[in-house]
Amino acid sequence: MSVTKIAIMGVGKIARDQHIPAIAARDDFELAATVSGSGGVDGIENHDTLADLLDARPDISAIAMTMPPMPRFDAARRAIAAGRHVMLEKPPGATTSEVRQLIDMARAAGVTLHGTWHSRHADAVASVRQWLATRTITGGHILWKENVREWHPGQQWIWQPGGMGVFDTGINALSILTEILPVDLRVRTSVLSFPANRDAPIAADLVFAGPDGVTITADMDWRYADTARWEQTIKTEDGTVKLLEGGARWTLDGVKQKAEGPGEYPGVYARFAELLSRGESDVDDRPLRHVADAFLLAKHISVDPFHDDA
């Protein structure tokens, strides 16, 4: 079995909690280095900059980029130009134009580009997609609510332009929605709530339109003080499917169904390994396009200022 030496760029919570354990669990990847200006991982070679890594380690053929989306384009562009395969944490870029350019660059360079959507690998998602494939969709609703102070403490970048605010997690719901539905949707209306002291929304109310009058609504809110709710309900002519816990389990007409999946980040790396073996890329920008459309169509509402320590 060939082993791909991979580096992680951006050693934050998501890298430590998800990427590093997922890599360690596989025989076909070796975490060979990190890129972090604030310290790397114990026992793993660290470089302060991507340029240092690219110069020092030509044997590292793949880089997982787990830093915030704003600096990701320049880093991915440099890595692709150096002939390295690139994995992008969600979202794949700060703008849709950046993503399209990276796709073209990777194709021209002959390297693999994988824009990951980890929630698509949650245990129940594949089963729901299969069940819905032959059904007629009649409507649905997304409920995506959590406490931002619990799940994103002190992360100031999420409130800056390009940080996406509530869509940083809400886009996970959209990644699942675009994966499981057999029809395409478009954003019809959008209401975004912006804290008076922030540049990104803390809540979003969306209406999606599909074929034959199908409507799916979405309620996303970072001010939810109770236990997080990550749920999607899809109604069909044959019954109602509900995805719970971010796609970890599902019900059909209220009855619990069997859910068997690889787990989110094990699934991400299994897919990356598959793409590398085939010399292919996989970058689906539909969830990001939905977010961009939500901003384009948005009615802006100013709400109370947000403070991390409130």
Average pLDDT over residues 236-261: 96
Mean pLDDT (the chain, rounded): 96
Average pLDDT over residues 54-67: 97
Under the banding of pLDDT at 50, 70 and 90, the label for residue 72 is very high
The mean-pLDDT minimum among 105-119, 149-163, 217-231 falls in 149-163
- pLDDT tens digits for range 159-174: 999 999 999 999 999 9
Structural domain boundaries in the chain: 4-115, 123-261+292-303
Catalytic residue, chosen from 13, 90, 235, 258, is 90
pTM of the predicted structure, to 2 decimals: 0.95
Asked whether the predicted pLDDT for residue 298 surpasses 90, the reply is yes
Asked whether the predicted pLDDT for residue 26 surpasses 80, the reply is yes
Return the pLDDT at 147: 97
Under the banding of pLDDT at 50, 70 and 90, the label for residue 261 is confident
Is 90 marked active-site?
yes
Under the banding of pLDDT at 50, 70 and 90, the label for residue 194 is very high
Asked whether the predicted pLDDT for residue 242 surpasses 80, the reply is yes
Percentage of residues in the chain with pLDDT exceeding 90?
94
- pLDDT tens digits for range 41-50: 999 999 999 9
Average pLDDT over residues 66-73: 93
Return the pLDDT at 39: 79
- pLDDT tens digits for range 105-116: 999 999 999 999
Return the pLDDT at 37: 85
Which CATH code, of 3.50.50.60, 3.90.180.10, 3.40.50.1820, 3.40.50.720, is assigned to 4-115? Answer: 3.40.50.720
Asked whether the predicted pLDDT for residue 267 surpasses 80, the reply is yes
Return the pLDDT at 154: 87
Residue with tokens 């996406």: 164
Report, at the CATH architecture level, how domain 123-261+292-303 is classified.
2-Layer Sandwich (3.30)
